[in-house]
Amino acid sequence: MSENKNVQDTHISEQMKALHGALIRVVSALNRPRNDEKLIAEAGIQLDRALFSILISIERLGPIGVVELAERAGRDYTTVSRQVAKLEKLGLIIRQHNAIDRRIREAVISRTGKAMTERIDAAREQMGKVVFKDWPQDELDVFVRLMQKFADAMDSDASCRNKQKKRAVKSDRPG
């Protein structure tokens, strides 16, 4: 039985390495500036590339605070705060107070911003059709379902880690 467990552990280890390698390649491809530039051009919009991912994140995740947005983007809070201010000035997002904690200001997409992200989505769909043109429909369906499941698991794990950090900070306080 332990020999079978070792074989299974080795297989899982190899799968994790293969998955990690594939994810690095995907993230690298998604982070290439020329891909954002191509998507912006295909969508026929005028937007600074640095603001592009922040706008999309606000549309997908909003209402969202700058702290969470910065954490998700892997960027400095002050940088993201300036970018959100630029998007607000362009009329692409609106900042509003959090419904529960009025001290927190959150970003939400504006009508103008939504129209822009819809054009980006249409361009992304056209570009995606090229990537997936040789995939059978059932494989694409399974891929999308499993990616969503993977993303949900990653979000859940991150949420659990954040709760554990908050508990650790509270337990370190005198009181």
Interatomic CA distance for residues 167 and 175, integer angstroms: 14
Residue that wins the pLDDT comparison between 157 and 45: 45
Average pLDDT in the chain: 86
pTM, two decimals, is 0.76
Q: Is the pLDDT of residue 171 over 90?
A: no
Q: What is the mean pLDDT of residues 150-159?
A: 81
pLDDT for 98:
87
pLDDT for 172:
47
- Which one, of 40, 59, 60, lies nearest residue 50 by Cα? 40
Spell out the domains of the chain, with CATH numbers in brackets: 12-161 (1.10.10.10)
Q: Is the pLDDT of residue 3 over 60?
A: no
Residues 31-72 pLDDT 10s = 888 888 899 999 999 999 889 899 999 999 999 999 999 998
Structure tokens, 94: 């609106």
SS3 107: strand
Q: What is the mean pLDDT of residues 109-113?
A: 98
Residue that wins the pLDDT comparison between 124 and 1: 124
Q: How confident is the model at residue 125 (pLDDT cuts 50, 70, 90)?
A: very high
pLDDT for 10:
72
Cα 55 to Cα 14, 42, 146: the distances in Å are: 37, 17, 26
pLDDT for 33:
85
Interatomic CA distance for residues 11 and 18, integer angstroms: 10
Interatomic CA distance for residues 158 and 38, integer angstroms: 31
For strands 93-97 and 105-109, give the pairing.
antiparallel
